[in-house]
Amino acid sequence: MIANNSLFNFNVSDNLSFSVWVYPKAFENLNGIFSKYQSTGDNDIYLRINDSSGGIKFGSDLGSVIIPNALKLNEWQNISITNSNGNIKLYVNGILKGNGTISWNQTTNYFSIGCDYCVDGSSDTSRFFDGKIDKLRIYNRILTSAEINLLNSSDNTTGLGEWAHWTLDDISGSDNVSSRDLTVTGTPIIDNGSWSLNENARGEYILQSGDNLDNFSLSIRFRIGTNASNYDSIFSTEESPGKEGSWQIGMSGNDMKFSSTDSSYAFTLSRNIWHHLVLTKSENNQINIYANNIHLDTLTLTNWSMSRLRVGTNRNTDNLWIGDIDDVRIYDYVLDSKDINKLYHNY
């Protein structure tokens, strides 16, 4: 909840735009996405799930627009809304789904995220949103349809079909596209929506029966800390460098290095600035390494082993990362240069 901030005392006559990503796990009437509706008769603005079919409702009890069958379960979807003096347009995933005239009362109520008709300390969970909410943006102008399309395409966490996506914007290590959550050891510091590490935390996902990553791609953002040193790693597989086919990406002196039991490749990146790295692996064990949208090298390995995916540690678990890690994405196919370019320009 955001309390006592006049910036959120919206007037129906204002030019406004809202954009929010939602991942509903269940649909129930009155589940709030965001709201300033706290007490009977307030009639301030809300965006909520309207029914069990995934319909959504925007406005207030004085006037609203309902879009039936708007959302799907267990998928990330973007909702964008524009308001011009009560005339609204509502978009889902960049597509205009409906429009109409609405009304609401301007109040000084709290602005609640993930809850409808909520007051501080509310225990009425029937009003809570069941799922995930991300990237809520509010504008004091009318977004164009082109801008809404750009928000949808540039933000889209599933546009390339992620097999797993660990945003690392909190300490949970949760997966944004499935249930392949990281098991987190230690407590990462959260700094501007990323893990800020000083050998204090790591995450791990152990592959399950049915997890097929014969074709594989890794996309990861990271920053090399001033004190990062030999073997400190951003990513690794297995728990021992002696495991045939195991590999890691980490420090080697002042360089970054991909190291496996078969081969290695070292490359130089500056410290204390953000980098984007992509590693792809095909069924025939051909490895391609990219840094900051530049193809660095191609390797062909004899052996490849990956029973676990490990973030922020080397294979021995004795050299944890010093620096920052953000937005780790896993794919069960080989990204091509266009895909990598799209990921790079996301940031």
How many angstroms separate the CA atoms of 63 and 190, rounded?
A: 40
Q: What is the tens place of the pLDDT at every residue in 68-95? A: 999 988 778 899 999 999 999 999 988 9
DSSP assignment of 156-172 equals: -TTTT--SEEE--SSTT
Residue 120 has pLDDT above 80, yes or no: no
pLDDT of res. 7: 82
Tell me the longest C-alpha to C-alpha distance in the chain: 70
pLDDT digits (tens, 9 = 90+) for 127-171: 899 998 888 999 999 999 988 887 776 665 446 778 999 999 899
Cβ atoms of residues 83 and 72 within 8 Å = no
One-letter amino acid for residue 307 of the chain: S
pLDDT score recorded for residue 121: 53
Strand pairing partners for 113? Answer: 34
Tell me the two tokens of residue 68.
């039936």
Model pLDDT for residues 158-214, shown as the tens digit of each residue: 467 789 999 998 999 999 888 899 999 999 999 988 999 999 999 999 999 889 999
Question: Which of these, 264, 295, 299, 292, lies nearest to 276 by C-alpha position?
Answer: 292
- Long-range contacts: 256-262, Cβ < 8 Å, 24+? 256/224, 256/291, 258/287, 258/289, 258/299, 260/301, 260/303, 260/304, 261/303, 262/301, 262/302, 262/303
Q: Hunting for tokens 């400190």 — which residue is that? A: 232
pTM, two decimals, is 0.60
DSSP 128: B
Report the pLDDT value the prediction gives residue 124, as an integer from 0 to 100.
Answer: 66
Structural domains in the chain, sorted by start? 6-154 (2.60.120.200), 164-344 (2.60.120.200)
Residue 108: per-residue pLDDT = 87
Q: What letter represents residue 343's amino acid? A: L
**Per-residue pLDDT, 248:** 97
Q: What is the pLDDT of residue 180?
A: 93
Mean of all residue pLDDT scores within the chain: 91
Any idea which residue has 């392949």 for tokens?
Answer: 180
CA-CA distances (angstroms) from residue 264 to 246, 257, 287? 12, 7, 11
Residue among 278, 259, 275, 258 nearest 341 (CA): 278
What distance in Å separates the CA atoms of residue 315 and residue 139, rounded to the nearest whole number?
Answer: 46
SS3 content of the chain, % helix, strand, coil (to 5): 5, 45, 50
